[in-house]
Amino acid sequence: MRLITDIVKECQEVQKGFEQHHDTDAIKKCIETYIGLLNEANDDPEILFQLATGYIQIRQFGMAEQLFLRALCHWPNNPHAWSNLGVCYRSMHVLPKARDCFMKSLMLQELPESLNNMASCYINENAPDKGIPYAKRAIELDPNGARPKWNAGLLFLEMQDWETGFTLYEAGFHCGERPMRFYTNNPEKDIPWWEGQKDCTVVLWDEQGIGDRLLAINLIRKLRGKVKVILECHPRLEAIYRRSFPWIDHIYPTIKEDKIDWPTKHKIDYKIPVASLARRYWTAGNFNRNPYIRPNPELVKKYRAEMEAKGKGPYIGFSWAGGVTKTNTQYRSLKLNWFKPLIEMGGTWFSLQYHDWAKDKVERFREETNLPVWHMDAAQEFDYDHTLAALAACDLVLSANNSVVHTAGAAGVPCWVLTPSKRAWRYPKGEQFPWYGDHMRQFHQEKDGDWDGVLETVKKELSLWTPA
């Protein structure tokens, strides 16, 4: 009969490999094992701790919180337990409790994980200067740790320290935040990284969300005429990329597929993700602000005709929500009825909100207010060419911080961006974006949560605005 300690050690080894392999099925088996062990040792703090850690790994933070609190009844001086409890609160975006837990952990022992976790509490909180010292100290104590470098990179990008930020952004590959792609049958001997070589064939891939992809694809223009480019992309963006970058040698919409065979058709010399070109071309803050993606002109005509059939111009598109809990949706999202005073000013308004629930909300709002506001089904089309065309058909777009912003920015569509005081690095201080043209304007909150002030400013500007 195996000892409980041996079983726990086996599960621990599986959990240690999670950040590299992300095998949630293996973690779920560990959780089942720990639950079984609690039948024999229901107050064992080690089992409670590891079980709670397992629930963190499968993103069941509420359950993990309760188990860590139980473990801390027996382990009040365990810095790891306090740190992991803080992770639960941070993941549920209860930041004051998270910071309190991390500070308790640090008072017991200066752990790199607790320092890093504390640093992460200041990302997208409009306080990067408070987080950077914790990240730097974590890197000092654990020079090989990828997570502190990743978090430091995000904080430096918020500070608009492009050189440090984009350099540290590369750590995302080593902590599971950025996906690595392989183009041979042997990942251990895959194609080398591109480091600026000319007259060669380079495969690039896009990554993260639609907005991140459209922001980063700005960079691919830097390679034109220097190398032969093969681009692996999200299937929703294939048509846009083919039209906008006809000079790219090959485009494959296979980024969501694990097994691909097209690399065997090419002699590929190097690889690099599109966003990693920033480390080479954007560290000095030299951005090309000219529009770089082109909408389908026939689709634009189609959607403009649909708009004109609904009412008189000007035709204004809008989107009011963005993100999920992890990416601060509570900061980034407004409410549909808050736009009522703007819609009452005139024109015909079109929702470009991409969530499945958006159409029902808009139809109810129109019925209740009798205002000229409609939902564009193009916002939910899989082929993002339709969303782009609908945006391009508008005279003006208003949007919360989401993919609509980066689509408009990349395409040269006039867009007013409603930006919270607590924001990601992609929405820097100031009215203009460094990487988009003057067709983009940001309206920032002057204080946390003050959307009334933002919308009042937008209303004044809208009264002075006339379509181009």
The CA distance from 277 to 39, in Å, is 53
Residues of the chain with pLDDT under 50: 1
Helix axis angle for 297-310 and 384-392, nearest 10°, is 60
Measured distance CA(348)–CA(173) in Å, rounded: 45
**Level-2 CATH architecture, domain 297-464:** 3-Layer(aba) Sandwich (3.40)
366 phi/psi in degrees, rounded to 5: -65, -40
CATH of 187-281, one of 1.20.1300, 1.10.10, 3.40.50, 3.30.70: 3.40.50
CB half-sphere exposure, 341, CA atoms < 13 A: 12
Amino acid at 333: S
Tokens of 344: 């009452």
Could you tell me the end-to-end alpha-carbon distance of the chain, in angstroms, rounded to an integer?
Answer: 79
Q: Which CATH superfamily is domain 4-174 in?
A: Tetratricopeptide repeat domain (1.25.40.10)
Q: pLDDT at position 176, please? A: 86
Distance CA 321, CA 404 (A): 10
> In the chain, which residues fall in CATH 3.40.50.2000?
297-464
DSSP H helices in 202-255 = 210-216, 238-244
Cβ contacts of 124-131, under 8 Å, gap ≥ 24: 124/154, 124/158, 124/327, 124/328, 124/331, 124/422, 124/423, 124/424, 125/95, 125/422, 126/158, 126/421, 126/422, 126/423, 128/155, 128/156, 128/158, 128/159, 129/159, 131/155
Q: How far apart, in Å, are the Cα atoms of 454 and each of 217, 401, 436?
A: 30, 13, 21
Residues of the chain with CATH 1.25.40.10: 4-174
Q: Give the whole-angstrom CA distance, residue 208 versus residue 178.
A: 7
Residue 455: predicted pLDDT: 97
Q: What is the pLDDT of residue 358?
A: 94
Say how far apart CA 201 and CA 384 lie, in whole Å.
28
149 vs 126: CA distance, rounded Å: 19
Task: Return the DSSP state at 173.
Answer: G
Check residue 7 and give its pLDDT: 79
Evaluate whether 315 touches 395 at the Cβ level (below 8 Å): yes
33 near 11, Cβ under 8 Å?
yes
Q: What is the pLDDT of residues 214-250, one digit of tens each?
A: 999 999 999 999 999 999 999 999 999 999 999 999 9
CA distance 146 to 161: 19
Is there a contact between 266 and 230 (Cβ–Cβ < 8 Å)?
yes
Residue 192: Cβ within 10 Å count = 12
> Tokens 């409980």 correspond to what residue?
4
The 10s digit of each residue's pLDDT in 85-107 is: 999 999 999 999 999 999 999 99
Which string of b and e fits 443-456 if b means at least 16 CB within 10 Å? bbbeeeeebeebbe
> Can you give the pTM of this predicted structure?
0.92
